[in-house]
């Protein structure tokens, strides 16, 4: 394996730190889920089947533009959709996949998350879509995820989990946590009755406002 330079080492460590943070917040468990960051002509991604608390920077796997991987471990089995999402969305540099309890719970319904709360707008539209089910690690699942994420920053994976993207790791982590909170909220609402949705016109105004949120 080639010597890791300082910039790459920091990125690799940031992936591990993010994975541990997700586990601490119970958004992933032990070996579930995966994280990738765009790097050079490919991506850096968590390896397959290794507990987060055992990961070291050299364990993170580099996958090049030809899908060839480098390192002592195999890349995550979900590398296909990480690779294809980063390839299809140039504005995105980070992909996070979780098996978070509430998000995964909603994914089992196989339906998009509707605009029950204005915060849905932060994910790119008036809904969070749900990609059709396909076997984990398959090209079909990748194709379904890319299609679902075409206009959005996140999607559910039917009967599987959640994908969240971001321009950087900070944004992706914030959105991952926010999406789980929204999934928890709508679950509570469904238990107590039928959720009322924010009107389409109001959501469009909010979606436009979100585009300049936090910017000067």
Q: What does the alpha-carbon distance between residue 159 and residue 39 come to, in Å, rounded to a whole number?
A: 30
Instruction: Count helices and strands (H / E) in the chain.
Output: 6, 8
Contacts from 148-153 at CB under 8 Å and sequence distance 24+? 149/85, 149/88, 149/89, 150/88, 151/124, 151/125, 152/123, 152/124, 152/125, 152/127, 152/128, 153/92, 153/122, 153/123, 153/124
Q: Which residue of the set 23, 78, 171, 180 is catalytic?
A: 78
Q: What does the alpha-carbon distance between residue 45 and residue 67 come to, in Å, rounded to a whole number?
A: 12
How many residues comprise the chain? 216
Answer yes or no: 78 catalytic: yes
Which residues carry out catalysis? 78
């Amino acid at each position: 394996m080639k010597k890791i330079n300082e910039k790459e080492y920091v990125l690799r460590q940031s992936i591990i730190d993010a994975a541990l943070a997700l586990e601490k917040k119970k958004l992933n468990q032990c070996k579930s889920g995966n994280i990738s960051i765009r790097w050079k002509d490919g991506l850096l991604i968590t390896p397959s089947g290794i507990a987060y608390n055992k990961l070291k920077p050299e364990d993170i796997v580099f996958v090049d533009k030809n899908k060839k991987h480098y390192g002592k471990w195999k890349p995550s089995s979900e590398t296909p959709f990480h690779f294809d999402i980063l390839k299809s969305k140039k504005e995105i540099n980070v992909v996070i996949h979780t098996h978070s309890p509430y998000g995964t719970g909603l994914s089992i319904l196989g339906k998009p998350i509707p605009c029950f709360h204005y915060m849905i707008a932060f994910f790119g539209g008036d809904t969070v879509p749900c990609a059709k089910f396909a076997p984990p690690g398959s090209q079909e699942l990748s194709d379904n995820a890319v299609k679902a994420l075409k206009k959005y920053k996140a999607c559910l994976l039917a009967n599987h989990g959640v994908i969240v993207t971001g321009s950087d790791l900070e944004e992706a982590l914030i959105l991952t946590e926010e999406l789980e909170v929204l999934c928890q909220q709508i679950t509570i609402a469904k238990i107590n009755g039928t959720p009322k949705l924010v009107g389409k016109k109001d959501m469009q105004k909010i979606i436009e406002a979100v585009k300049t949120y936090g910017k000067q």
